[in-house]
Structure 1
Amino acid sequence: MAKTIISRGQGVLTGAGDASELLQAGFTQKAFRQWLQQYPRHLSADTFASYIKNSVDSVIPVVSNATADIKTSPLDRLSSGNNLIELYRETNNETYKTAFEALRTSIDLQSRNVEGGLWYYTYANWSYLDGMASFAPFYTLYSSLYDEENTAAVPDDLVLQLHLLWTHCYNNVSGLLVHGYDESYTAVWADNVTGASPHVWGRSLGWYAMAMIDTLELLNSKTYAAAHERIKLRFNDLASALVQAVDSTTGAWWQILDQPGREGNYIESSGSAMFAYSLLKGARLGYLPKSVINIAKRGYEYIVDEFVVNNGNGTLGYNGTVAVCSLNSTATYEYYVGRPILYNSVLGSAAFVLASLEYEALEI
């Protein structure tokens, strides 16, 4: 699947793609970096390393101006941050450092609500789960390498962002989190008590789950012990809720998790892959009980059977990935289930690569 992504030229910024193209690049880099770390001596290692560099180089002109960053792209812009850091550490090329420093500065320039929560984009006081998968791992890696003396960044600010989303978006019955919240309570979809949007969109919760487990992996310093513990407890709670939300027939997860089986709802491939990845990785790293492995494996194997397409020419297709869903909408059930299903979206196929790597890691 990773080689097929390369064959299609996906994950390299062209400026001709849709609004998620910058996120697609960062997410592809993430998947390929994990592949390279898992199989550093593979014959294809140089190919993947070169493609990571091509993808990172393509985003540099777009993310190297901190002021422009916050005006033109949501928190997803931070998705390339970790690979910019990695390439700088490998090459000492200052161009990479300039870019990731601009991304770090852009966090400080990002607008916040009165509680200190980051706006996801330019929509006033709206915070999404989605942005955490790009924000939290970058903020953590940067702070641990270049700003560890700033003892407020990770222990306070990063934990605050995850906490505010949890507080506003958490459902006490299901244990799941809805897509986002409006701290001003003025959005057409905002709950008048919590500000929360009405539905649990699978992929947004998938981003949040990935943010937690990927950040836990990076929080390996005693400086961040308290932050690590807080995030670990929340991740365990979320994982338990995800296990309960599994569809009993397929073993995978619905597009709208709080409406299982409702007419129009369906099993969605990107969120399902993200959940399989998060649960398998959580178990591998020792944060989750081994009992979740079989649950995550069943979901992964359904994805392989249902969504992976053998093109018959040495490449693979990937189906069942919903287009971008935004809170700049009605955020109704009908909106989410009415969004187009995309074939070969890299937001799905890269998630599948990550889930596959964790699945394969069980055998290593």
Structure 2
Amino acid sequence: MTQRLPASLTPLETVLTALLRALEPVQPIEVPLSDALCCIAAEMQPLPAHPPHDVAATDGWALRANDLVGASSYSPLPLAAPPAWVEAGDAMPCACDCVLDAELVEVGGPIAQVLAEAIPGQGVRRKGQDIAEGSLVAEAGQRLLPRDLLIARTAGIERLKVRRPRLHIVNIPGATATANLLAESARSAGAEVISREAGARDAASIVAAFEDAACDLLITIGGSGVGRTDAAVSALAARGEVITHGIALQPGRTAAVGRLGKTPVVALPGAPDQAFAAWWALALPVLDRLTGRRPRRTLSLPLSRKIASLVGIAEFVLLERQRDAWMPIAVGELSLDAIARAEAFLVVPGGSEGFAAGRPIDAYMLRE
């Protein structure tokens, strides 16, 4: 038996407060660098300086710049002792602070001669130039990017501490394309994703799919509406607790939230547009809390045209940047083309009638 939407929908802010109540970040784990990309960094140990001492940046002759004052091709400077040859990456010899190219030093005669001046540090990578002593691979709460892993590898680090929640996706048959989209979004947000498809759309099959769902966040996709074959919310009620079904969010109002024991559950609609909006508005804030992620980046730009919104419903708006302004490309109804084009989003609060053209808006970036 399916569950009907209540006559009044629960405000989005109320739902988020209930979902996030008493929710804490998961404990850090260590993972190899190959698994760390897109994870959220936990506390990092300070790094040693790299290079650990001055090294040659190029192949050439190691010398002291102050000894070369006045040297030129017209007035070669003889050296009292033969210079030292270094390869890129070699430690600089004691008292040497520059490297001259091979053709700028003549060593064929009985006395080596220098044909050019130099400045201290020329051709040299100074100690700590690549990685300053005491710096971090990434600040706690930041998403690990390829450049962060480059720093870790350069510093000789093989494993990093991250917070990586286990996210279990239960796909109700008929919503596979949406499940794949959200699984990729979850991985890029730092989650370890396990996907499983329920055997059928009935409540018993969905409950059975819950049995192996030992996780930090459970997502169901599909079957959250009020149709005769929509049983995801009934399954949640049978196995755990339904906090609310029917949310004042457009699109995504048939979403539901609840708990299985202490594990938060978000039941997303199967339609891509509704699932996309509910994922960003409901599930990602939970995932961000579990990862200990810092607040997501926003970009403030004026609206190029007004956004009109119905009072009482929080409306999901997709935005595209055009001429240093936010252009709304979808409000409340999201096409797949708009989802693919969008660069940012905002949620118009349920108590607002919208925003006037020209008003600066802080929008959340969809692409990092």
TM range (shorter): under 0.3
The structure with more radius of gyration: 2
Larger RCO, structures 1/2 (Cα 8 Å, 6+ apart): 2
State the TM-score, normalized to the length of structure 2. Answer: 0.25
